[in-house]
Amino acid sequence: MLQPRSIERIPWTLQTRVHHTDPMESVRWGFLGAGWLVTARTADSLHQASNAELTAVGARDAARAASVNPTRAYASYQEVIDDPEIEAVYIALANDVHLHWILAALEAGKHVLCEKPMAMNAAQTRTAFEKAAEKGLMLVEAVWMRWHPRMRHIAELAKSGELGAMTGFEGRFTWETADAAPPGNYRFFPEYGGGALLDIGVYPLHALLACVPDMSKLEVVSSHRHLNEHGADLTTDITLSWGENTKAEITASFEQPATESMRIIFERGEISSLDNEGFCSLRETARVKINDEIEIFDAVDAYQLMFEAMSSRIRGGSDWVLSPAESIKVAEIVDDAVAKAE
């Protein structure tokens, strides 16, 4: 039986990344929202970041904002944006208000990191990036799994040619409704940007874009959606292609047993996820199977890596961040999948 081996091929390592120790280098962040994601995940990740500090958090309840230990807590989002010390804003709000607060933050001269999906559709996504370019500011979609060393290695290997041309992709991210959210949650209402595709389907879509040789050639071939009584998709299945004899199959669902799986097929082998955990490894050892070998990645916090990378870029560094082109392309695929749904 093949024994797991430690990763050796990755040209970067988390263990050797540079830590910024000069407090003057820290980027002063403001958070909009203090819901579950912030209180359970991202506030702590920001606190652990080596080159960033949580200066302010705004929420409808100032006590909840204060619970994640910012320097200042506000009872509104606008107060965070108006705070002259804030350099960068992280938006963790319902999808339907992303564009409003992106534009407000950019107008106030703040860099923006916005939770996925960036906006409700491709038109809104393009509007957001056009404003960022106009203002000369950074705008990045917070698809945190893209900063994980495993995902970055998979993408690099997929495009390297080592396994030959990429011919197939299978990505599934599914939850059962009881685990997805309580009744009445915004995820079950399309007017708030709900639905499985926008909520969790963007993970396999972003993974596909990270690996496909030319994302501009990706096209939706077919789409099937099962909607709830409000019109939000409980399940979406998408078939895509990027050329002759290529096929990608994406499934996002709130009504299937919990699954996170990814399989990428090449002329000379395949890459596949393990442990029913294809996208969201957080502070746990992560594995990937490449042909007959298993590669192991140390536990990391990809949210922390995301905040550190963007903070470094704000200070003039060259760290990798997700490109506007990828965010726009995913939004276009989502629009196309909705338009072609059967």
CATH number of domain containing 90:
3.40.50.720
* 24-28, 45-49, 142-146, 160-164: the lowest-pLDDT one: 24-28
What the block records as the tokens of 261 is 């799986």
Mean pLDDT on 16-39? 75
Percent helix / strand / coil, the chain, rounded to 5: 40, 30, 35
Asked if residue 150 has pLDDT above 50, the reply is: yes
Residue 314 lies in a domain: no
Q: Is residue 315 part of a domain?
A: no
Question: Within this chain, do residues 130 and 25 fall inside the same structural domain, yes or no?
Answer: yes
Residue 166 resides in a domain: yes
The whole-model pTM stands at: 0.92
For residues 139 and 203, membership in a common domain is answered with: no
Structure confidence at residue 173 as a pLDDT band (50, 70, 90): very high
Round to whole Å and give the CA distance between 88 and 41: 18
Residue 171 one-letter amino acid: G
**Who contacts 308 (Cβ-Cβ below 8 Å, separation ≥6)?**
17, 49, 50, 51, 52, 319
Mean pLDDT along residues 282-305? 95
